[in-house]
Amino acid sequence: MTLQQLETFYWIVQLDGFAAAAERLCATQSTVSMRLRELERSLGVELFDRTQRKARLTPRGREVFDYATRILNLSSELSHRVAAPDSVSGTIRIGVAEVVSISWLPALIKRIAKEYPQVRLEIDEALTSDLMNALAQGELDLVLAPGHTHMHDVSAISLGTVDFAWMASPGLAARHIHSPAELAQYPIIGLKPQSFHSAAIDAWFLRDHAHCRYLARCKSMGVAASLAIAGMGVTYLPVPNYQRQLGDGLLEIIEVRNPFDPVEFVAAVSPEHTYSLPSAIAELAQSVSEFQR
């Protein structure tokens, strides 16, 4: 029995298939199958029930999976907490929200390259719900996105908070404090439902018995900002990221009643990886983050 065999078994279970495990491990499916057979032979048990259309873990397989998870976590902790950082290798898949990618993400990547020169990064930008789902499915190792440090089923540390505000092209909206019902009179440029703010914004309007009219719902804040700058409607944007546009008079902040609190961002990993390389990189992200503390 080897760590390589246990790692292969772990990813077959975690990613629910041989093909996904092979891709994760940069190996062929035949190699993955061979490692599993060798592990079963060394333990003298069958780990999967192959009598069904879809292979399922046997009772012994579930037991071995628990042991494999603990062994791999201890191995990871030893490597990443004790070994010299420049000797650590592997691939880390990081999911980032757009607000992170357009601010301090380059500084984080530069820091990772300095601390862990042998580590390869895969970066995926998406909306928060999609990123968290990918983390839960084992498709990502670390997520940097809006959230809360007490989120269920993840281990998260705070990256600080970001102020958001309603913005529009100057002159589109009257210069006074708007109620949700008043703001709903303008075309709203929103983000898709998978975004962190979508449900909160809809609830904010509904509390005032207002029904906003979405001109468009975008995946990108950059697209939403471009439409707002063109005078197409009102959108909700992170204030620090649009200081230049505000200073140049391309956008202005629309004051509203009962504004939202600043949004907390977190670095989230699976609870199983508390001492892993993703957690070490999460700590680097916390130290690099330019968000408010």
CATH number of domain containing 281: 3.40.190.10
What pLDDT is attached to residue 274?
55
Helical (H) or strand (E) element with 112: helix 105-115
The vertex-164 CA angle with 163 and 168, nearest 5°, equals 140
Phi-psi category of 26—alpha, beta or left, where left has phi over 0 and alpha has psi -120 to 50? left
173, 256: one domain: yes
The DSSP secondary-structure symbol of 33 reads H
For residues 292 and 97, the answer to whether their CB atoms sit within 8 Å is no
Residue 112 burial (CB count, 10 A): 21
Task: Quote the pLDDT of residue 123.
Answer: 96
User: Tell me, what's the pLDDT at 212?
Assistant: 87
Same domain, residue pair 51 and 196? no
293 domain residue, yes or no: no
Quote the pTM value: 0.74
Give pLDDT, residue 262: 94
Residues 257 and 171 in one domain: yes
Boundary residue ending a domain (55, 81, 107): 81
Using a 10 angstrom Cβ sphere, with 0-12 exposed, 13-18 middle and 19 or more buried, the burial of residue 47 is: buried
On whether residue 18 sits in a domain, the answer given is yes
**For residue 151, which of 262, 238, 265 has the smallest C-alpha distance?**
265
Same domain, 252 and 196: yes
The structural domain count of the chain equals 3
Q: Report DSSP state, residue 273.
A: G
Distance CA 81, CA 66 (A): 22
State residue 84's pLDDT score.
61
The reply to whether 23 and 157 lie within a common domain is no
Domain region containing 94: 88-161+264-288
Residue 118, amino acid: Q
Q: What are phi and psi of 159, to 5 degrees?
A: -105, 0
Rounded Cα distance, 230 and 167, in Å: 12
* pLDDT for residue 137: 83
Same domain, 206 and 228: yes
For residue 144, give the nearest of 181, 112, 178, 191 by alpha carbon: 112
Same domain assignment for residues 94 and 113: yes
Tens of pLDDT, residue by residue, the chain (293 residues): 898 898 898 888 888 888 888 888 888 989 989 999 999 999 999 898 877 777 789 899 899 998 888 888 777 767 666 666 666 777 899 999 999 999 999 999 999 999 889 889 999 999 999 999 999 888 899 999 999 877 777 889 999 999 999 999 999 988 899 999 999 999 999 999 889 888 889 989 998 899 888 999 999 999 999 999 999 999 999 999 999 999 999 999 999 999 999 999 999 998 766 557 888 899 999 999 999 98
Please, what is the end-to-end C-alpha distance for the chain in angstroms? 47
Q: How far apart are CA 199 and CA 171, in angstroms?
A: 28
Q: Regarding beta strands 155-162 and 89-96, do their DSSP bridges make them parallel or antiparallel, or are they unpaired?
A: unpaired
Can you give the pLDDT at residue 149?
79
- pLDDT score, position 284: 95
